[in-house]
Structure 1
Amino acid sequence: MTALDKDLASIQEVRNLLTAAKSAQKTLAEMSQEQIDRICEAIAVSAYEAREKLAKMANQETGFGLWQDKVVKNSFASKFVWDSIKEMKTVGILNEDKEKKVIDVAVPVGVIAGLIPSTNPTSTVIYKALIAIKAGNAIVFSPHPNALNSILETVAIISKAAENAGCPKGTIGCMVKPTMQGTAELMKHQDTSLILATGGSAMVKAAYSSGTPAIGVGPGNGPAYIEKSANVPLAVKRIMDSKTFDNGTICASEQSIIVETSNKAIVIAELKKQGAYFLSSAESLQLEQYIMRPNGTMNPQIVGKSVQAIAELTGLSIPKDARVLIAEETKVGHKVPYSREKLAPILAFYTVENWEEACELSMEILHHEGAGHTMMIHSEDDAIIRAFGLKKPVSRVLVNTPGALGGIGATTNMAPALTLGCGAVGGSSTSDNISPENLFNVRRIAYGVRELDDLRDESPQVSIADSKINEEQLVEVLVERILAKLH
Structure 2
Amino acid sequence: MGIDKDLISRQQARDLAKKASAAQKIWAQASQEEVDRVVEAAVKAGADAAQKLAEMAVEETCMGTVQDKVVKNLLATKILGDYIRDMRTVGVVNEDQEKKIVEIAEPVGTIAGITPTTNPTSTVLYKAIIALKSRNAIVFSPHPRAVRCSCEAARTVYEAAVKAGAPEGIIGCMDTPTMEGTRELMTYPDVSFILATGGTSLVHAAYSSGKPAIGVGPGNVPVYIERTADVEKAVRYIILSKTFDNGTVCASEQHVVTERVIEDVVVEALKENGAYFLDSSEKKKVEEVVVRNGGVNPKVVGQAATKIAEMAGIKVPVGTKVLIANLSQVGPHEPLSGEKLCPVLGFYTVDNWVEACELCISLLQYMGIGHTLAIHSQNEAVVMEFALKKPISRIVWNSPSTHGAVGLTTGLAPALTLSCGAMGGSSTADNVTPYHLLNIKRLCAGIKDPEELNFGSATGTLQRQDLEAIVREVLRRSPDKCLQEVESIVWETWKRLQESSVK
Q: Which TM-score band applies after superposition, normalised by the shorter structure?
A: over 0.9
Give me the whole-angstrom Cα distance separating, in 2, the residues matched to 1:3 and 1:320: 44
**What does residue range 184-199 of structure 1 map to in structure 2 within 5 Å?**
184-199=183-198
Alpha-carbon distance, 1:263 to partner: 0.2
Q: Select the structure of larger CA radius of gyration.
A: 2
Q: Structure 1 residues 38, 465: closer, same or farther in 2, change over 3 A?
A: closer
- Structure 1 segment 42-61 matched on structure 2, within 5 A: 42-61=41-60
State the shift of 1:184 in Å: 0.3
Give secondary structure in 2 for the equivalent of 1:262: helix
Counterpart code for 2:358:
E
Is residue 464 from structure 1 mapped to residue 473 from structure 2 by the alignment?
no
| Matched-pair contact (CA < 8 Å) for 2:460–2:498 | no
- Deviations along 1:350-397, whole A, 9 cap, x unmatched? 000011110010001111110100011000111111111000110001
CA distance, structure 1, for counterparts of residue 126 and residue 379 of structure 2: 36
Partner of 2:432: 434
C-alpha spacing 1:462/1:297, structure 2 compared with 1 (3 Å): closer
**What pairs up with 1:198-213 in 2 under 5 angstroms?**
198-213=197-212
Instruction: Note if contact 2:309-2:316 (Cα within 8 Å) is conserved in structure 1.
Output: yes
Query: Over residues 162-197 of structure 1, what are the superposed CA-to-partner deviations in whole Å (9 max), with x where a residue is unaligned?
Result: 111001000001112111111001111111111000
Matched to 2:90, the amino acid is V
The corresponding residue for 1:345 is: 343
Q: Distance in 2 between matches of 1:365 and 1:97?
A: 43
Q: What one-letter code is carried by the residue in structure 2 that aligns with 1:96? A: E
Q: 1:450 to 1:150 in 2, by over 3 A?
A: same
Shift of 1:6: 1.9
In structure 2, do the counterparts of structure 1 residues 253 and 40 end up closer, same or farther at CA, with 3 Å as the change threshold? same
Aligned residue for 2:441? 443
CA distance in 1, matches of 2:340, 2:460: 67
Amino acid at match of 1:340: G
Contact kept? 2:53, 2:153, Cα under 8 Å: yes
Q: Residues 101 and 309 of structure 1: is their aligned pair in 2 closer, same or farther, counting only changes over 3 Å?
A: same
Following the alignment from structure 2 to structure 1, what is the Cα–Cα distance between the partners of residues 431 and 232?
29
- How far the C-alpha of 1:308 sits from its partner, in A, is 1.6
- 1:60 CA drift (Å): 0.5
CA distance in 2, matches of 1:405, 1:459: 52
Q: Which residue of 2 aligns with 1:85?
A: 84
* In structure 1, distance between residues paired with 2:41 and 2:159: 9
1:38 partner letter = R
Partner of 2:176: 177
Residues 462, 498 of structure 2: 8 Å contact kept = no
Distance 1:95 1:324, change over 3 A: same
* 1:99-138 → structure 2 map (5 Å cutoff): 99-138=98-137
Structure 1 residues 316-367: Cα deviation after superposition (integer angstroms, max 9, x where no partner): 1111111100011101003322110000000000000011110010001111
Instruction: Kindly provide the amino acid, as one letter, of the partner of residue 364 in structure 2.
Output: L
SS at match of 2:282: helix
Closer, same or farther: CA 70–475 of 1 in aligned 2, 3 Å: same
User: What letter matches 1:379 in structure 2?
Assistant: S
Q: Indicate if the aligned counterparts of 1:464 and 1:470 stay in contact, CA closer than 8 A.
A: no
Written as runs of structure 1 = structure 2, the 5 A alignment for 1:80-479 is 80-294=79-293, 296-455=294-453, 458-461=454-457, 463-464=459-460, 472-475=493-496
TM-score using structure 1 length = 0.94
CA contact (8 A) 2:258 2:350 kept: yes
Rounded to whole Å, the distance in 2 between the matches of 1:347 and 1:431 is 25
CA offset at residue 449 of structure 1?
3.2
Over 3 Å counting, the alpha-carbon distance change for 1:3 and 1:366 in structure 2 is closer
Check 1:473–1:289 CA distance in 2 against 1; reply closer, same or farther (3 A cut).
same
Aligned partners of 2:45 and 2:157 also within 8 Å: yes
Shift in Å at residue 313 of structure 1? Answer: 1.1
> TM-score w.r.t. structure 2 length?
0.91
Paired position in structure 2 for 1:12: 11
3-state DSSP of counterpart to 2:176: coil
Number of corresponding residues: 474
Distance in 2 (CA, whole Å) between partners of 1:144 and 1:237 is: 33
- Report the AA paired with residue 129 of structure 1: A
2:192–2:212 Cα contact (<8 Å) kept: yes
* CA deviation map 1:290-336 (0-9, x unaligned): 12112x12110110000121122111111111110001110100332
In structure 1, what is the equivalent of residue 469 of structure 2? none
Distance 1:303 1:463 in 2: 67
- Distance across 1 between alignment mates of 2:277 and 2:451: 76
Q: Deviations over 1:110-166 (max 9, x none)?
A: 001100100000000000011111011000000101000001111111111111100
The CA RMSD measured in Å over matched residues stands at: 1.9
Kept in 2, the 8 Å contact 1:277–1:324? The answer is yes
- Kept in 1, the 8 Å contact 2:460–2:499? The answer is no
Tell me if the contact between 1:326 and 1:349 (Cα under 8 Å) persists in the aligned partners: yes
Q: Distance in 1 between matches of 2:213 and 2:495?
A: 54
* CA offsets 1:229-274 (integer angstroms, 9 cap, x no match): 0001100000000000100000000000011100000010111111
Gaps of 5+ in 1: 480-487
Q: Quick check: 1:408–1:415 contact (8 Å CA) kept in 2?
A: yes
Structure 2: distance between partners of 1:462 and 1:257: 58
Q: CA deviation at 1:14?
A: 1.1
* Mapped contact 1:464–1:474 kept (Cα < 8 A): no
Ranges in structure 2 where 5+ consecutive residues have no aligned partner: 464-489
SS of 2:177 mapped into structure 1: coil
